[in-house]
Structure 1
């Protein structure tokens, strides 16, 4: 694996890796030869036993956790299932959100397959997201997000349901123009958990790239 192919490394130990995924790169391969390139396939060229513990959308950047052994994968997956992994995201939105913060408790269901799009549905899966405005200016468009559940497109669909989709989102803000950076402004900025093998608190952070 060429050094240029590898994402920045935020943490490594005998059980796990934490990397800083770039925007525009799939977490895992998609269907078809044009979607073979992904973060996990690049990393597995050097370490075949690596496995994703969770995923980020292709257009989302930031902190991503990988297991180095089957035992690590089981232990880390159990922490995610028990909601004992804490994640923080930063986003810029297309319009000021309604208020300074709160909790979005809106069930989501897939509305279409190609491209996948999710939206509010009373019969959908339960989804909860805490959010707060960055700073005290009510006109600010930067917010912090803490997902309390882990559904596909949860943050993107929840913000769209508030009328403030993420800047540059190719699905939920397609009719509001591209961002000046040419990417979606959603970044996984922090992840913390109690290390299942050392017992120490592991905290990893990645600076906002936009």
Structure 2
């Protein structure tokens, strides 16, 4: 059965409705929203609107979310590290190198394939067949904590927490250069690069992004830092740290061409995840150990 969302635009958003809705609800892709417009599942002020409609203040949007289709992505018996699980959520400690969901060139072997087997298909269907349960993502070569929704209600609740910046997300990273200040805040807008659509960059016309860093240790030519996300833009930490002259060690996209120890994957680990539970409203807090690959790099740096 489909569900109806009623959304009133109370803030000043500009642009096409697919862009605005994807900003308000990150779990909805622009292509998904466009499909709902084509299927007449979306109305503004009670009327069918064209795909290029631009939102206005006080617009009332009626958004009918169709019932999720039967998930066809292959369930695979792949070992994953489950940190916590109940009827609403799963917290996973993703390993470095694992892709979160199927995409071009990654048809299987992903975290979603593993979750479909582990959860017997009981995952939220808001993001369709390819990304069931996925509330937020981390890059393939970033390790660490990731939350997954097992039903649509939990998914929408957690997505709203993300939108309101009410989820604690702390990462550990090793960056090039010795950072002088013990703490700092980076506030630079980020958007996709026009020249290379696979990369993100700093731009005055980009979306607001904020990262806080704290130095944990300093080595000869590198720094071990903790980074707190206040927003969750694609590649935010990698882009922000590069923008202040401290790219991540091993980052193949934003870092140096040749890295210490021959690394070809960024040293970035999602270490802390905190949020309010969608059903019990209990404060949940998870913190994991650094993975072996990360500890080994720190040991090498201490001995240089």
**TM-score, structure 1 as length reference:** 0.90
User: 5+ residue gaps in structure 2?
Assistant: 1-75, 124-132, 295-304
Deviation at 1:180, TM superposition (A): 5.4
CA contact (8 A) 1:97 1:163 kept: no
Distance in 1, Cα, partners of 2:256 & 2:112: 28
Indicate yes or no: 2:117 matched with 1:45.
yes
Match of 1:208, SS?
coil
1:123-163 deviation digits (Å, cap 9, x = unpaired): 11111101111148897610000011110000000000011
Alignment of 1:97-136 (within 5 A): 97-111=179-193, 116-135=198-217
Give 1:115 deviation, angstroms: 6.7
Q: What runs of 5+ residues in structure 1 fail to find an aligned partner?
A: none
Corresponding residue of 1:23: 96
Q: Could you tell me which residue of structure 2 aligns to residue 61 of structure 1?
A: 143
In 2: Cα distance, 1:110 partner to 1:181 partner: 25
Q: 1:98/1:180 Cα in 2 relative to 1: closer, same or farther (>3 Å)? A: same
Structure with bigger gyration radius = 2
Bigger RCO of structures 1 and 2 (CA < 8 A, at least 6 apart): 1
Match of 2:155 among 73, 84, 91: 73
How many pairs align?
207
- Aligned-CA RMSD value: 2.1
Runs of 4+ deviating beyond 4 Å:
112-115, 135-140, 178-182
Provide the TM-score with structure 2 as the length reference.
Answer: 0.63
Task: State the 1:207 CA deviation.
Answer: 1.1
